Amino acid sequence: MRYHGSQHDISYTATLEFFEARGAAARPDSPQTSTMYQDQALASRRDACERTTVLPLLAVRQEDRVLDIGCGYGRWAEALSGKISSYLGVDFSAALLKLAEIKAGPTVRFQRLAAQDISPCTLIVPPPFDLFICAGILIYLNDDDVVRLARALGAMAAPGARVYLREPMALQERLTLDRFPSAELKTDYSAVYRTVLQCLELFGAPLEKAGFTRVVERPLYPPELCNRKETEQRILFWTK
């Protein structure tokens, strides 16, 4: 079903099944298409564009402790490798974490944990963290869990911490797909596309209450890398 405008909760079980299947079918040498639902050429161009645009924004320092929520196959672990002090990638998909594990090492770790269960006492690397990465995760969380996650990040933030958010957002009105038969993905798909304003209310407000200030809010890709009518990928960045 498609729900326009109204708030409708999605099932996390269906989302987990979706990602387990994507991870199991992924090619270890080119895993981008497992979490970026485009053909390999566009997925690679988007991946390169995000890194080029966002790495300067993240301004990582050697002493940074990073928490990546919904880390998938470890795309950001690879991009930050050698540049930071520690990295913890958290995801609920065992199949995607299996792909990520090849990037693990003494300072790069992965943990199977649902985003809605993240708290200072459930993580294998204890807080505080200097940088939080939330790339393409909020669309899979219901509103209550988006708020809960933002509060958890606020509680685990070191002085001077930063939060990077990249999300596909609704251009006009909130859109929820609940086990919607996607011709493109060839399976049922569930996700919540919120407007920028809704993301700011649910995720931004708790962060700002915890002392963060929003410093960036804009589209990520140039027009030639965009191919959706109802949504676009946007980036937001907060510093404390």
Ligand X SMILES: C[S@@+](CC[C@H](N)C(=O)[O-])C[C@H]1O[C@@H](n2cnc3c(N)ncnc32)[C@H](O)[C@@H]1O
Minimum gap (Å) between residue 38 Cβ and ligand X = 11
Minimum gap (Å) between residue 159 Cβ and ligand X = 25
**Which of 107, 116, 187, 239 lies at the binding interface for ligand X (CB under 6 A)?**
116
Interaction of residue 19 with ligand X, rule CB under 6 A: yes
Q: Which CB, 141 or 163, lies closer to ligand X?
A: 141
Q: Which CB, 112 or 218, lies closer to ligand X?
A: 112
Question: How far, in Å, CA of 45 to CA of 43, rounded?
Answer: 6
Helix segments in the chain, DSSP class H: 12-25, 32-35, 40-58, 75-80, 94-100, 143-155, 196-199, 205-209
Judged by CB under 6 A, the chain residues 30 through 59 that form the site for ligand X are 35
Which region, judged by CB under 6 A, interacts with ligand X, from 68-76, 80-88, 171-179, 198-206? 68-76
Interaction of residue 71 with ligand X, rule CB under 6 A: yes
Question: How far, in Å, CA of 180 to CA of 203, rounded?
Answer: 25
Interaction of residue 75 with ligand X, rule CB under 6 A: yes
Judged by CB under 6 A, the chain residues 78 through 107 that form the site for ligand X are 91-93, 96
**Which of 70, 127, 154, 204 lies at the binding interface for ligand X (CB under 6 A)?**
70
Minimum gap (Å) between residue 157 Cβ and ligand X = 19
Interaction of residue 152 with ligand X, rule CB under 6 A: no
In this structure, which amino acid lies at residue 45? R
Minimum gap (Å) between residue 135 Cβ and ligand X = 3
Give me 233's structure tokens. Answer: 């990928």
Give me 207's structure tokens. Answer: 């962060």
Interaction of residue 167 with ligand X, rule CB under 6 A: no
- Contacts of residue 192, defined as CB under 8 A and 6 or more positions apart, other chains included, come to 8, 10, 138, 139, 140, 141, 142, 143, 174, 175, 176
Give me 50's structure tokens. Answer: 């995000």
Helix (H, G, I), strand (E, B) or coil at 28: coil
Alpha carbon distances (Å) from 48 to 16, 53, 75, 204, 217: 27, 9, 11, 26, 20
Residue numbers at the binding site for ligand X (CB under 6 A): 12, 15, 19, 35, 70-72, 75, 91-93, 96, 114-116, 135-137, 140-141
